Structure 1
């Protein structure tokens, strides 16, 4: 279940900033974890290559 504070934050953000900005922030938050995972994999590959 999504906390009510999160829903209120999204409603406030959409009301003040507009839908496109809210979608952009949402996508950045989703991609952040994937980018961190990709970074970890690249660092592991570089470490293996150096050894």
Structure 2
């Protein structure tokens, strides 16, 4: 019973780690994409002002 519980905890931690890694990877990709966008946005903002 205890061994099965330990395995389930390890599985939960592993799944959480994979999800966190995936979210982190998407976040990094989004920041790189936004960096390309934000290099142009200041010009758009200044023209609007």
The alignment's TM-score, normalised by the length of structure 1, stands at 0.52
Equivalent residues in 2 for 1:24-39, closer than 5 Å: 24-39=16-31
Where 1:35 maps in the other structure, the secondary structure is: helix
| Larger-gyration structure (1/2) | 2
The corresponding residue for 2:40 is 48
The number of aligned residues is 37
- Structure 2 residue runs without a partner (length 5+): 1-5, 44-49
Root-mean-square deviation (Å): 2.0
Q: Which runs of 4+ in 1 moved over 3 A?
A: none
Flag the structure with more relative contact order, 1 or 2, with Cα contacts below 8 A and sequence separation at least 6. Answer: 1
- Structure 1 residue runs without a partner (length 5+): 1-13
